[in-house]
Amino acid sequence: MAAFDSQHDPVRRLTRIELIARLSDAIGPRAVLHRREELLLYEYDGSALDMAEPDVVVVPGSTADVATAVRIAGEAGWPIIARGAGTGLSGGSVPALGGVVVSLARLNRIVHIDPENRLAVVQPGVVNADLSVAAAHYGLHFAPDPSSQKSSTIGGNAAENAGGPHCLKYGVTTNHVIAATIVLSDGSIVRLGSEAPDAPGYDLLGAFVGSEGTLGIVTELTVRLTPDPEDVRTFLAIYDDLEPAADSVSAIIAAGIVPAALEMLEGEGIRVIEESVHAGYPTDAEAVLLIEIDGLRDDLDEQAGRIEAICRACGARDLHTARDEAQRARLWAGRKGALAACGRIRPHYHIQDGVVPRSRLTEVLRLTKDVAARYNLVIVNIFHAGDGNLHPLLLFDLREPGVLDRAMAAGEEILYACVAAGGTISGEHGIGLEKRDYMTWIYDPDDICAMLELRAAFDPYNVMNPCKQLPTGASCGDVKHARGAQRAIAAGAWV
């Protein structure tokens, strides 16, 4: 019988004091954090809105330590929440019902790079960008490149199936993970996937990547490395209106060109990024496209000419080409630093992650402007236009009474519009706490039931990251809509 009923708090067969003692004896007292000042660091993720305090945090140093900690907590009925760098944007690592947070920060080794087979074996705490730095010596890199890649970890990227600008051409994280070592809720250790291509059997690894810690905890991953291209060209297309920019996106893809990246920035976001980063964006533009192509040098001249012709035919007022690597880096620094730059407008944010067909981009972008006006919010759109992955950034000040409720309602309306346009509710940030109740917009009860049955097959104790990804009922409702953040602000906290 499951030790945790998803409709109620888990049945905990050890007290907190007993749990701390068992964990300390098993993996060492230095790896077990339990003082309140230690726990406060683990009650939120990168969204900093949903907040809940864990009962205990363990920081294991090996797969064996992870297995031991999970076995003790799982058998005792305590919720178990894996945490990487805490950069997630949907509440995925927030301990909604308290419990044991398993921090993977110490599992941060690049175990092996195999340049001949273009593979790397890494622990989950390896920072995304650090793997590419290590692989650069071999002319290789790790292709998934979320904007948080200088701080987010590969284990967290796998948990959320993270994307990034260059995933338009190269695919999201699941396309680059080929094997993983997993600790299940009973403490058993299993290996999913294989270095051999097209291995027979069910794709359990495919189910695990993107499962947000609800199926188990990864302690080692084997990932694909991608050869560095011979040449790269980066362009900034400038527009006086949203519609011709969105039309250019569809026209480029329709012409059979798949850029490595195709990003859009619009309105006030352009201006605030330029003030912060000095990337070279024109502050009077209504929209810009950041377009990058890569590949064989002889092929890129022809592609570049076609892209310029398409953009100008759609109404671009100008198109600039990065003249050297330094200018290319500045253009990308603007895009990657967009979230931080928007802190100049308002101190708090709620970022959404809906996906729409490229042909509906203009429609949904105009809806976000209408939503911003009706809810009296600032909304900035900076997003992966090539695959229709919108990131409307709702900006506000939590000290303003009622503003959080308006922001959450506005975000919900935008996501619902994405679904109505033929899209979905997440392209790369995951579902977590934030969007779990919206899953019923895109799945019927039988679908949800099937996913819950899959979860139960991996986690018969039903303790792995409860309240996340799938609707689970009222037991998690007191964490929804960032009530933790409101309580912190009311108590005088300031971020």
pLDDT per residue as tens, the chain (495 positions):
333 344 446 689 999 999 999 999 999 999 999 999 999 999 999 987 889 999 999 999 999 999 999 999 999 999 999 999 999 999 999 999 999 999 999 999 999 999 999 999 999 999 999 999 999 999 999 999 999 999 999 999 999 999 999 999 999 999 999 999 999 999 999 999 999 878 888 999 999 999 999 999 999 999 999 999 999 999 999 999 999 999 999 999 999 999 999 999 999 999 999 999 999 999 999 999 999 999 999 999 999 999 999 999 999 999 999 999 999 999 999 999 999 999 999 999 999 999 999 999 999 999 999 999 999 999 999 999 999 999 999 999 999 999 999 999 999 999 999 999 999 999 999 999 999 999 999 999 999 999 999 999 999 999 999 999 998 653 444 443 344 444 444 555 443
User: What is the CATH T-level fold of the domain 346-431, as seen in this structure?
Assistant: Alpha-Beta Plaits (3.30.70)
* Amino acid sitting at position 332: W
Q: Give the start-to-end residue ranges of the domains of the chain.
A: 1-228+443-495, 231-339, 346-431
Domains 231-339 and 346-431 share a fold: yes
Asked whether the beta carbons of 166 and 143 are under 8 A apart, the reply is yes
CATH architecture of 231-339: 2-Layer Sandwich (3.30)
Residues found in the chain: 495
Q: Which of these CATH numbers, 3.40.1450.10, 3.40.309.10, 3.30.465.10, 3.30.70.60, describes 1-228+443-495?
A: 3.30.465.10
